[in-house]
Amino acid sequence: MASHRRPKQPSRTRVTVLTATAAAAVALSSQAAQADPKPTKKDVKAQVDKLYEEAEVATEKYNGAKEKQDSLEKQVDALQDKVARGQGELNKLRNGLGSMATAQYRSGGVDPSLQLILSSDPDDYLDKASTLNQVTSKQAGSLKKIADTQRTLKQQREEAALKLKDLADTRKALGTKKRDIQDKLSKAQTLLNTLTAKERADLAKAEEERANRSNADRSKLEDGKDSGQGGEQGGNQDGGSDTGSNVPTSGRAGAALAAAQGKIGSPYVWGATGPGSFDCSGLTSWAYAQADVKLDRTSQAQANNGTRIGRSALKPGDLVLFYGDLHHIGLYAGNNQVLHAPKPGANVRYESMDNMPFQFGVRI
């Protein structure tokens, strides 16, 4: 017979727990939605600009490590060449003494002095030679040369071993810095991808207009100079104070600036030193190389390649350093303008000196 009992109803306690759990889930979902709102275009730009600046800091550290690696590789190669030549000389000296020993053996045996000469410790022989009175001056001279060569080889091998360890550490640091740069650039791209295509286009347009304003202002100033108006006045109209004469301080400064001007529009690429792409210190070092002046690789090192000067003393072609840690550098172009490789995603261009925290200039 079929049962007609009613199904068991959930208890009041169980209903309360389920209701509370559902409410909590809804609340958490609401909080999560509120905690992770889509960043605005302004927020994205600020974060991306910060990441690009951090990437440039890391780039200058990478450049320094790369320069050290290149220098160490040359030093290690030179030391290894010296060791190889020294070993060849040592082998030749030992062969000479071996021939002498063979000749003596054939004529009646090797005397005690040559036994000591061919020992593994020539220095010990020299200490004892004075009591033997059996060593010819030629043998003593050969042995001393062997001992000196052995000592030199030992020192060179030890120095090469230390350089090789330093080189290995530098290569490891180089890899770490490279990953740091790539990580920051990847994060910047991820942020940009949160924007719509139109928002990204608007940012790119604003960046281009900013660069074009600097170039347009410069063109007006140069047109004013050509028509007889002073560049001094134009500099003030640009919104910044006049910062020195518009004539380069030297032929090499003028040549470096002219070389950099020929690269306007070239892309910023971290670690690049031209001629097709540049980072900030890559552009300045390449430009001065065209004027037969060798600068150090990094912006911080280039800050010490000449005489430091204040803003009011700047002339075209002088180096200009920005930010407290000196991680950015460019060439002063006159009329309150810097010519530089700005950052990832931007090309070599003129820009107002007021767009970055200026520290000092360097006259080469």
340 in active site: yes
Whether 290 contacts 261, CB under 8 Å: no
275 preceded by a cis bond (ω within 30 of 0): yes
Residue 321 contacts by C-beta under 8 Å, 6 or more apart in sequence?
Answer: 299, 303, 328, 329, 358, 359, 360, 361, 362
Partners of 349 in beta bridges? 340
Residue 232 contacts by C-beta under 8 Å, 6 or more apart in sequence?
Answer: 242, 246
Q: Which amino acid is at 151?
A: R
* CA–CA distance, 315 with 361 (Å, rounded to integer): 9
Catalytic residue (choose from 68, 163, 315, 340): 340
Catalytic residue (choose from 61, 327, 328, 343): 328
**188 conformational bin, left if phi > 0, alpha if psi -120 to 50, beta if neither:** alpha
208 in active site: no
**Alpha helix (H) ranges present in 280-354?**
280-289, 299-302
* Residue among 218, 247, 265, 236 nearest 318 (CA): 247
* CA–CA distance, 345 with 362 (Å, rounded to integer): 27
Residue 271 contacts by C-beta under 8 Å, 6 or more apart in sequence?
Answer: 59, 62, 63, 66, 279, 282
* CA–CA distance, 162 with 146 (Å, rounded to integer): 24
327 in active site: no
Catalytic residue (choose from 65, 211, 280, 339): 280
Whether 277 contacts 287, CB under 8 Å: no
Tokens 């139109």 -> residue: 198
Catalytic residues: 280, 328, 340
